Amino acid sequence: MIDSRLARDGTEIRRRRECTECTRRFTTRERVDDVLPKIFKRDERREDFQRDKLMTAVRKACEKRPVSMDALERMVDRVERHFQELGEKEVASSLVGERVMDELKALDSLAAARFASVFRDFQTAEDYAVFFASIESGGESQ
């Protein structure tokens, strides 16, 4: 091991290593594997909290927007940590979606609208207008 340091707000250890045979260097990351609640869907299915699935959704919402991958990682960390700290065994997917939208609003309102359009199944331009009006007023609608 060449180097070891804390990363991600102290929740992850980053280690730089070097292979003794080929001398190539690589990085490993170690995180505490916290217990996350099950997510229950609208159709009443239950599934494990999937960080990768959440990251894919927010990355897609932020595509071609001025939001860095670091900012997205930190946002997903906050969402994940929030649901860990709740201590619940199950959480509705709607709560996760609302939390993600709140986080995205702070990062990029257009990315939040993209996420909301899928999450809330927007059908008309009026749905977008209501969403942006709620952002401007600082409240929540729908």
Longest dimension (CA), the chain: 62
Residue where the block lists tokens 């939040």 = 112
What percent of the chain has a predicted confidence (pLDDT) above 90? 65
- Per-residue pLDDT for 36 more than 60? yes
Contact yes or no for 49/34 (Cβ under 8 A): no
Q: Which residues of 7-28 are buried (b: 16+ CB within 10 A; e: fewer)?
A: eeeeeeeeeeeeeeeeeeeeee
E-strand ranges in the chain read: 3-7, 12-18, 25-31, 38-40, 46-48, 90-92
pLDDT score at 142 = 47
pLDDT, tens only, 78-114: 999 999 888 889 999 999 999 999 999 999 999 999 9
Nearest partner of 26 among 6, 60, 1, judged by Cα: 1
13-25 pLDDT, tens digit each: 889 999 999 999 9
